Amino acid sequence: MTEQQFQQLIESSVRSQYRFRGHWEEFDSDESMTVNHQKIHSVLSELESRLNDNFPFFHPRYAGQMLKPPHPVAVAAYLMAMQINPNNHALDGGPATAHMEMEVVQQFASMFGYQEHLGHLTSSGTIANLEALWVARSIHPAKAIACSPDAHYTHRRMCEVLQVPSIVVDVTDIKALEAEFRKGTIGTLVVTIGTTGTGSVEPLNQILPLANRYGVRIHADCAYGGFFMLLAGVEQPIIQPKPFLSLKDCDSIVIDPHKHGLQPYGCGCILFRDPGVGTVYKHDSPYTYFTSNKLHLGEISLECSRAGAAAAALWATLQCIPLSSTDGFGGILTKTREAALLWDTDISQLHGWKRYVKPDLDIVTYFNVPNTFSASSVSHQSQQVFDLAMNNGAHPLFLATMNVDSSTILQQYPDFIADTPRTKIIRSVLMKPEHKFTAHKFIQELDRIAHSA
């Protein structure tokens, strides 16, 4: 989208607010709200200057973290609704955006294969996961919540908040997992579909039959990987489809539209397969009133006030970029996945580079091997490559580093010397479709940088 087209979108969003206000009688704004125009321009000019202290999240040369700007459609829609500032806690606070929220949540539920559902948007994936674990505690109040060592660290932190015992278990070791289930102490297991470290997809399809046998609830944390569900049902999927196709049988699912959904922060979503969990939310507030007997989102949410603008932005985005396997979001994710495969192939073929784990989605982990193949030397080299790439003159390349257990490298490469418990490696998040067309060039640049380190 060109600058002129984007500017037209923003101007249209602003004009819509004045048309909305034009439906009502005029009034004089109180003078206490007046700010000198020159002061406003001065402050915004300083803001622009300060915002230059950011990395270029919009550019393919940024492949460091799970960050990218929202789509222009989302920006325009958010601005349009934000000027009204609806609150999706109740239909009274945002009737239009509350209905939009219900529509987009229904689209997500359908995407995952839920026949029935209860769900809503949240202010983040963390809050969505907190809500899922809160419901899990209410259903199994005397039992622990388990997750893998690679699950997001907030799951264990949220167990502390909820005062629920937490257990860390290797979900890839099905026999060990069954041994834990057999003890009868686990009420809910968190399965991650797209870990934040490596983007790995945990074997949900193997875990579910076991969980059903022992009466363990399954919560799927799809905050990062959820949108890849769109690629699971195609004829020749470029992801492993079985874990995704099993999501319909999970008790709850979290997805983060502010990651692959092209939304501004913050926008998460929680879904429950059984609408009956709504009874957990029952509450009574003496000052809360509703002008309608219809469902109000605040009745099925831990949060109270939530930005209706987030629902408007997501609704408009899904109208323009549908949840389709072949085009829309499916077309975008196909390219990010292909970018990861290209990046991984190049790394595997270049002398002196090694893969850490094979990418399941669009995050690639790898490292350059210096003269001595040891944990300390690889860590030093990774930091050198990271620093040199980020400060590479007019064409920097922004990556990320990640600390992993040295033993995991030793398992793959017997000649590795684990002289320190942890090893620093390089991590690239290729969540822009443009990465497909720049992957080879960037790897060649990295190789030159590594040789100069």
Beta pairing partners, 424:
403
Q: What are the CA-CA distances from residue 177 to residues 117, 170, 272, 326 (Å)?
A: 28, 7, 24, 36
Q: What are the CA-CA distances from residue 124 to residues 127, 128, 266, 310, 369 (Å)?
A: 5, 6, 5, 11, 38
State which amino acid sits at residue 149. Answer: P
Place of tokens 């505690």: 137
Distance CA 60, CA 155 (A): 31
Torsion angle of alpha carbons 200, 247, 324, 72, nearest 10°? -60
DSSP H or E segment with residue 402: strand 400-405
pLDDT of residue 4: 93
pLDDT of residue 294: 56
Give phi and psi for 220, each to the nearest 5. Answer: -95, 115
pLDDT of residue 287: 44
Torsion angle of alpha carbons 171, 172, 176, 182, nearest 10°? 40
Distance CA 325, CA 230 (A): 5
β 422-429/400-405 pair status: antiparallel
Residues 6+ apart with CB under 8 A from 236: none
Q: What are the CA-CA distances from residue 423 to residues 152, 381, 442 (Å)?
A: 19, 11, 23
Distance CA 258, CA 304 (A): 20
Distance CA 433, CA 63 (A): 12
Peptide bond into 331 cis (omega under 30): no
Torsion angle of alpha carbons 257, 260, 262, 265, nearest 10°? 50
Query: Looking at the whole model, is its pTM more than 0.75?
Result: yes
pLDDT of residue 296: 66
Six token digits for residue 317: 């985005």
Which domains, ranges and CATH numbers included, belong to the chain?
A: 95-282+293-320 (3.40.640.10), 328-452 (3.90.1150.170)
Q: What is the pLDDT along the chain (453 residues), one digit of tens a residue?
A: 899 999 999 999 999 999 999 999 999 889 999 999 999 999 999 999 999 999 999 999 999 999 999 999 999 999 999 999 999 888 888 999 999 999 999 999 999 999 999 999 999 999 999 999 999 999 999 999 999 999 999 999 999 999 999 999 999 999 999 999 999 999 999 999 999 999 999 999 999 999 999 999 999 999 999 999 999 999 999 999 999 999 999 999 999 999 999 999 989 999 999 999 988 887 655 444 444 555 667 778 888 889 999 999 999 999 999 999 989 999 999 999 999 999 999 999 999 999 999 999 999 999 999 989 999 999 999 999 999 999 988 899 999 999 999 999 999 999 999 999 999 999 999 999 999 999 999 999 999 999 987
Distance CA 180, CA 319 (A): 45
Torsion angle of alpha carbons 12, 17, 23, 25, nearest 10°? -140
Torsion angle of alpha carbons 359, 364, 370, 375, nearest 10°? -70
State which amino acid sits at residue 197. Answer: G
pLDDT of residue 393: 86
Alpha helices in 222-292 (DSSP H): 241-245
Place of tokens 């195609």: 234
Distance CA 164, CA 423 (A): 32
Place of tokens 């003890």: 183
- Determine the length of the chain: 453
